[in-house]
Amino acid sequence: MNLLLIRLIIFAVLFFAGLKLYRMYREWKLEREELLEKDDIRDEGGHMVRCTYCNVHLPESDALRERGEWFCSSAHRDKYLEERKTQD
């Protein structure tokens, strides 16, 4: 009888400890998912790149790329390429 009672107490303690760990894990997972969702919303515009001509940062989706360089407008792209031609 004594051994049965001890086993029952041990089982109950293990059960409640496992339940507590599961609830902590579930809460941690929900917090992590919320944090990732906030990061996704912030990154909607894509990665930020810098205009080679004027050094202004803008989203990659709005930038122009020419010969491996990023530009904020076609005017800056043309000016930069023209200056580069005269330097070479």
Question: Over the stretch 4-25, which tens digit does the pLDDT of each residue have?
Answer: 999 999 999 999 999 999 999 9
Beta strands in the chain (DSSP E): 48-50, 57-59, 64-66, 69-71
H or E element at residue 44: none
Helix (H, G, I), strand (E, B) or coil at 30: helix
Give the pLDDT confidence score for residue 78 in this predicted structure: 92
The pTM is what? Answer: 0.48
Alpha-carbon distance of 59 to 46, in angstroms, equals: 6
Give tens-digit pLDDT for 27-51: 999 999 888 877 665 555 568 999 9
